[in-house]
Amino acid sequence: MTVPEYAARFNELSTRTGYSKADLRDRFYEHLADSIKDKLVHTARPIPSLEDLITVSSDIDVRVRQCRAERERQRGRTATTTTATKPAAPLHTTPFTPPTRDPNAMDIDATRTREEFNRLMRGKCYGYGSTTHVKKDGGHNRDVCNYRRRIGHRETVCIGKFLKKPRSQKLAATEEGPEEPQVAASTSTSADARATNALIAQLMEQQKALADQLASLQKSF
């Protein structure tokens, strides 16, 4: 307890003891905290009576508690400053490892060639990319590439897209780019020739119709 609290309790009990004032002074001093006794030894203030001892001890108690509180505050400020100036721990404690590049992946920044396209398409259908048939057996005569607007293959195997040519808006009737190697074909019958000519004529009519539509649209703008 504080010295004033101790003095109040001491005075309350001292009236029942019958001790003299000198004895009470000695008893009061005996039960003071050691920190206050140390200060009393060096004080120049007179403490001959119990009342004087209580007054001086109370003043010393106030100063001791103030010093203790100041030390606690200083310790708290030091801890806060240390925490604030301590460098933050890195978010990643393990070194960064770049992702492994697929050796078969194509470099989009590299200059692509038709030879590279043919190498990648080796053993595949040039109209669809399938490995189960060649283009001439795949029935791709009606397939339209949405990228270059060419007939005969799909966008997934478009050489124009592979070579990064600009996207086309106009439908073309012929296939652009390299074709898969062809074996010597047998002599076609007259019926096959007529069917082929009819298909070509149909495709040309479709091309003309699309060209007319595009011309009309351009005029409207």
Cα first-last separation, the chain: 96
Q: What's the pLDDT score for residue 139?
A: 77
Q: 71 vs 102, which has greater pLDDT?
A: 71
Q: What is the pLDDT of residue 191?
A: 67
Q: List pLDDT tens digits, range 89-128.
A: 555 455 545 555 544 444 444 567 888 888 888 888 888 7
Say which residue, 51 or 205, is predicted with more confidence. Answer: 51
> What is the rounded average pLDDT for all residues in the chain?
78
pLDDT at 190: 66
Nearest to 141 by CA among 156, 129, 151, 130: 151
Q: Does residue 68 have a pLDDT over 70?
A: yes
